[in-house]
Amino acid sequence: MADSTTAQPQSPRPNLQRRGLLFILSSPSGAGKTTISRMLLAADDEIKLSVSVTTRPSRAGEIDGVHYSFVDDATFDRMVEEDDFYEWAHVFDHRYGTPKGAIRNALKEGQDFLFDIDWQGTQQLYQKDQQDVVRVFILPPSIAELERRLRGRGTDSDAVIEARMERARAEISHWDAYDYVVINEDVDACFAKVREILDAERMKRQRQTGLIPFVRELMN
């Protein structure tokens, strides 16, 4: 019969403290990064969308401060001059930028941020904060399928679609500047791969800031 004084197993330790990451999803228009981004935000409570500042007008259903922060050109110019952006770029006659704000402090607390930006923004962000950036590029299964998806939206003229296709080819040429490349032939399979990447990156030793005191305790 077991001694009633025998020590009982301790309950599992809580998750160790870790540093957050800047998770970038890029793709040519129509390849699926917006869909994958929405799926990720809905499925994962530990990551939230980085809200970009833009000079373009808001679209139907968009909420200022939720989908984008909408500003005029003068305000955007001032933010550039004051170095308030991680990165910014021109996209289809408008400007988009990622404000620094509270992001850096939140990273220390383990908050992850999702970025839906193009390769230019990715390059700028990586140059400013390499240790925290994870870059994922999403490719369409073919250029014909990409055009079919764009036309299937039924929202753009032939001229706009042609411009998007030209830009898509230019963006695809930068695929090798990313840490991971995923082909989006099936959206659910693509999403599963993106989640696997995110989970693995969270477990990297250099992001597990709570490991040092935990291991020291094990060794004592």
- pLDDT digits 0-9 by tens, 58-81: 988 899 988 889 999 999 999 999
What tokens were used for 180? 């991971």
10 pLDDT exceeds 60?
Answer: no
CATH for 196 = 3.40.50.300
3 pLDDT exceeds 80?
Answer: no
The structure tokens 């990297």 sit at: 204
What tokens were used for 116? 């839906």
- Report yes or no on 98 lying in a domain: no
pLDDT tens by residue, 95-153: 998 888 768 888 999 999 999 888 888 998 899 889 999 999 999 999 988 888 888 88
What pLDDT sits at residue 76? Answer: 96
Torsion of CA 64, 75, 34, 200, to 10 degrees: -110
- Report yes or no on 59 lying in a domain: no
Q: Which domain holds residue 139?
A: 22-50+110-215
What pLDDT sits at residue 8? Answer: 53
Instruction: Over range 74-94, report the average pLDDT.
Output: 90
Sign of CA dihedral 102, 103, 104, 105: positive
What pLDDT sits at residue 11? Answer: 45
Measured distance CA(133)–CA(191) in Å, rounded: 19
- Report yes or no on 81 lying in a domain: no
What pLDDT sits at residue 6? Answer: 52
pLDDT tens by residue, 154-207: 778 888 888 889 999 999 999 999 999 999 999 999 999 999 999 999 999 999
Question: Could you give the residue ranges of the DSSP H alpha helices within 71-186?
Answer: 73-81, 103-108, 119-128, 143-153, 158-172
Query: Which pLDDT band holds residue 29 (cuts at 50, 70, 90)?
Result: confident
What pLDDT sits at residue 203? Answer: 94
What pLDDT sits at residue 128? Answer: 86
> What's the pTM?
0.79
- The DSSP secondary structure of 174-213, one letter per residue, reads TGGGSSEEEE-SSHHHHHHHHHHHHHHHHT-GGG-TTHHH
- Report yes or no on 39 lying in a domain: yes
12 pLDDT exceeds 50?
Answer: no
- Report yes or no on 147 lying in a domain: yes
- Report yes or no on 96 lying in a domain: no
Measured distance CA(122)–CA(134) in Å, rounded: 10
90 or 42: which leads in pLDDT: 42
CB 140 within 8 A of CB 28: yes
CA angle, residues 212, 215, 217, in degrees to nearest 5:
110
- Report yes or no on 80 lying in a domain: no
Sign of CA dihedral 123, 127, 128, 131: positive
- String of b and e for 30-54 (b: at least 16 CB within 10 Å)? bbbbeebbebbeeeeeebeebbbbb
- Report yes or no on 1 lying in a domain: no
The domain tally of the chain equals 1
Angle between helices 187-202 and 33-43 (to 10 degrees): 60
